[in-house]
Amino acid sequence: MGVIGLQTYMTNYCPDACYEVRITGLINSYRKATGRQPVIVVDGSSCIRHLYGPLDWILGGQLKEFADKLVTFVKAFESLGAKLVFFFDGSTVERKRFIHRYVNVMKR
């Protein structure tokens, strides 16, 4: 999911378009305005990269440590009263880049 290069573009050409927010405030405002539990959609592929971070990927990786980080991440949002929904689009970023390059080569 996501748009390749969007973050770089926004940072370079629209620096005032993105700003930090306090997620707690957004969750509380939504709940107060709607009376419903907030549902936050998470790009699973990007989240994995962020959470796995410096953990070792070799030989299956550090799955227990990754699972611990993931549980901590989800519980942090649950403690604020929000539900997380993860979406995975199937391909890794590297695979998407490969497919994009392949399509461009085939167009030539």
| In a domain? residue 47 | yes
| In a domain? residue 44 | yes
* pLDDT value of residue 44: 84
| In a domain? residue 78 | yes
* pLDDT value of residue 94: 65
Q: At what angle do helices 44-52 and 63-79 cross, to 10 degrees?
A: 120
> What is the tens place of the pLDDT at every residue in 20-79?
889 999 999 999 999 999 999 998 877 887 788 777 777 766 888 888 989 999 999 999
CA distance 83 to 1: 20
| In a domain? residue 51 | yes
Which is it for the CA torsion 9, 12, 14, 15, positive or negative?
Answer: positive
CA distance 77 to 33: 19
Strand ranges in the chain using DSSP code E only, listed in sequence order: 39-43, 83-87
| In a domain? residue 75 | yes
Residue 78 is encoded by which pair of tokens?
């649950």
* pLDDT value of residue 90: 66
Q: Which residues pair with 84 in a beta bridge?
A: 40
CA distance 65 to 51: 10
* pLDDT value of residue 31: 95
Number of domains in the chain: 1
To the question of pTM greater than 0.85 for the whole model, the response is no
Expressed as residue numbers, the domain containing 35 is 6-106
| In a domain? residue 100 | yes
Residue whose pair of structure tokens reads 């959609």 in the numeric block: 41
| In a domain? residue 82 | yes
CA distance 70 to 74: 6
| In a domain? residue 1 | no
